[in-house]
Amino acid sequence: MNRFEVLETIGMINNEKLDIRTITMGISLFDCADENPVRACEKIYNKIVSKAKDLVRVGEDIENTYGIPIVNKRVSVTPISLVAAASKTDNYTIFAEALDRAAKETGINFIGGFTSLVQKGFLNADRILFNSIAQALSTTERVCASVNVASTQAGINMDAVREMGQIIVETAQLTKDRNAIGCAKLVVFANAVNDNPFMAGAFLGVGEAETVINVGVSGPGVVKAALEEYKGADFETIAEVIKKTAFKITRVGQLVAKEAARRLNTNFGIVDLSLAPTPSIGDSVAHILEEMGVEKCGAPGTTAALMMLNDAVKKGGVMASSSVGGLSGAFIPVSEDLGMIEAVEAGALTLEKLEAMTAVCSVGLDMIAIPGDTTAETISGIMADEMAIGVVNNKTTATRLIPVPGKGVGDFVEFGGLLGRAPIMSVNKFSCNTFISRGGRIPAPLHSLKN
Amino acid sequence: MKLIVTVVGKDQVGIIAKVSANLAELKVNILDISQTILNDKFTMMMSVDLDESFSTITDLKKKLNILETDMHLAIQVYNEEIFNYMHKI
């Protein structure tokens, strides 16, 4: 064993906040469908509790054995619209409440899968789920909801986009006593993935195994620390440094994922090659971009820096894991990244620049607080723009926008814990009402004649 | 299970002796020791084998924690596999 390698690893864990961000157990709920909604909820609760009862303990054991922190233990389930479709009821809030009870019983901090997939059209069940989202997010604590409204194959379901704008406003109103926290647990996707371990957008898609372990790694601090040794070096050099660092980070994820799957007697799914920030010092993606040489995140050059970072992370990570999936890339959630928060406060980072950045990295306009008086149509407009970027680029994008009632630009909102704190960002004042009111579907884009 | 034990702190008489004695009490076998003074600090890395021992990694950590406090050291215990995974292709 080489002493420097040992010291490097220990330094990453102790000083640079290398951790496993989440071990997420995917649990299929297809066999819980029942005509009687109360019985269906009972089956759902029982299945989650029986499959995930050891998840938290196993996570802690692995943490103890390998000395690597595992921040979150979570569960993702089959989209509830597919499971609840068999039940005779016109409100799915009880399903969310069953998920919440199961989450509390197993000790996990979030459960994802109060989900609808409506990129091309609505099932009756999707209509019911849409109508239940705001209430479900206000009466539960740990349930996360997500909706896929667009895909490269199907285009953008603009009816769903319009409705989601209204649902976000409604959710904000119903949870206004808690800074609209309901909206922090609601993601709108284009090209959602079936094996995402990260909340709030995790669900276990169709085509996945009965139960599966997906792992999300972290480590922005490790990448930043590695780059600090290469001040002034050219881009080939720093791309190599990032690749090597990403390899090391991902290897730890691979080790933990395989070990967790073995101990829980289930399948190893994927490692998500992610750089996921937290609000704590030394754990910021924005600070990596600044280390590369932009004065503040959002300055000219930021999109190019992020593109290189994201690409190098994937190149380094792919070889480190036998199975890669999920969202895989750098995340830029504003409220969960100290450097992003600072950049917004300094006036360097705007919503429009963030939108450009989402074209070259993982996910999208994530954890962005906007003024409480933003209209549903404007929210739908921002959402439609973001979906367009995902659909045309054949990648996942998403929005997690939080219109905080009673707050305006210049105010701050605290969500607490990993969700962090966010400055309210300014939104373009011009209207898109006529555009959004059209409805229908934006057709799928052409995939040849590319220029 | 092979573990890496690292010990860092102010140099003083008896660190190796006391760490080794603690390991011996739990029947933890020492495979390799490397020790140096790094930035004025005593820095030791031990490779140890837990297979013959009756104790778990948790017991070992608890025992070393007491020594850590008594001698004002920083002692950490890791499963060797994490280093193999990270640094060997």
Taking residues A419-439, what's their average pLDDT?
95
Does A258 contact chain B (CB < 8 Å)? no
Distance from CA of B41 to the nearest CA of A (A): 14
Averaged pLDDT score across all residues of chain B: 91
Overall domain count for chain B: 1
Q: Which CATH number, 3.40.50.300, 1.10.3720.10, 3.20.70.20, 3.30.750.200, labels domain A18-440?
A: 3.20.70.20
What distance in Å separates residue A2's CA from the closest CA in chain B?
9
Q: Which helix (H) or strand (E) holds A414?
A: strand A412-414
- Angle in degrees, 0-180, between the axes of helices A235-263 and A55-66, rounded to the nearest 10: 130
CA A27/CA A210 separation, integer angstroms: 6
- pLDDT band at residue A11 using 50, 70 and 90 as cut-offs: confident
3-state secondary structure of B37: strand
For residue range A198-230, list pLDDT tens digits in order.
Answer: 999 999 999 999 999 999 998 899 999 999 999
Query: Residue A238 above 90 pLDDT?
Result: yes
Residue A180, classified by CB atoms within 10 Å of its CB into exposed (0-12), middle (13-18) or buried (19+), is buried
Question: What pLDDT score does A449 carry?
Answer: 83
Maximum C-alpha span of chain B: 40
Counting residues of chain B whose pLDDT is more than 90, the rounded percentage is: 74
* pLDDT, averaged across chain A: 94
Judge whether residue A373 has pLDDT over 70. Answer: yes
| Segment A135-181, tens digit of pLDDT | 999 999 999 999 999 999 999 999 999 999 999 999 999 999 999 99
Question: Is residue B61 classed as helix, strand or coil in its secondary structure?
Answer: helix
Chain A contact for B41 (CB, 8 A cutoff): no
Cα separation, A137 vs A145, in Å, equals: 8
Structure confidence at residue B31 as a pLDDT band (50, 70, 90)? very high
Q: Rounded distance, CA A138 to CA A308, Å?
A: 39
Q: Would you call B82 and A68 a contact, using CB atoms and an 8 Å cutoff?
A: yes
Q: Which of A79, A209, A212, A195 is nearest to A146 (CA)?
A: A79
Q: B10 lies in which domain range? A: 2-87
Residue B88, pLDDT score? 85
Instruction: Judge residue A104's burial from the number of C-beta atoms within 10 Å of its C-beta, 0-12 exposed, 13-18 middle, 19 or more buried.
Output: middle
Residue A362's pLDDT band (boundaries 50, 70, 90)? confident
**Angle A365-A367-A371 from CA coordinates, rounded to 5°:** 90
Number of C-alpha atoms within 13 angstroms, CB side, residue A366?
Answer: 28
**Helix/strand/coil (H, E, C) string of A193-244?**
CCCCCCCCCCCCCCCCCCEEEEEEECCHHHHHHHHHCCCCCCHHHHHHHHHH
In angstroms, rounded to a whole number, what is the distance separating the alpha carbons of residues B13 and A262? Answer: 44
**Which pLDDT does position A218 carry in this prediction?**
86
Rounded to whole angstroms, how far apart are CA atoms A321 and A54? 25
pLDDT, position A278: 87
pLDDT (0 to 100) of residue A2: 77
Examine the pLDDT at A1 and tell me if it is beyond 70: no
Given a contact cutoff of 8 angstroms between Cβ atoms, the answer to whether A117 and A148 are in contact is yes
Q: How many CB atoms lie within 10 A of CB A398?
A: 28
- What pLDDT, in 10s, does the model give residues A247-264? 999 999 999 999 999 999
Pair A143, A103: CB distance under 8 Å? yes
Most A CBs within 10 Å, among B55, B86, B89, to test the A interface: B86
Q: In chain A, pLDDT over 90 holds for what percent of residues?
A: 87
A3, A65, A252 ranked by CB distance to B57: nearest: A65
Chain B residues with CB inside 8 Å of A7's CB? Answer: 6
Which value, in Å, is the radius of gyration of the alpha carbons in chain B?
Answer: 13
For the domain that residue B56 is a member of, what is the CATH number? 3.30.70.260
Contact A251 B6 (CB under 8 A): no
A367 — pLDDT class (breaks 50, 70, 90): very high
Q: At what angle do helices B57-71 and B15-25 cross, to 10 degrees?
A: 150
Across the range A260-275, mean pLDDT stands at 94
Closest residue in A to B47 (Cα–Cα): A1
Residue A450: is its pLDDT beyond 80?
A: no
Beta bridge partners of A215: A23, A271
Compute CA distances A216 → A23, A240, A390, B27, whole Å. 7, 22, 21, 37
Average of per-residue pLDDT across B36-58: 89
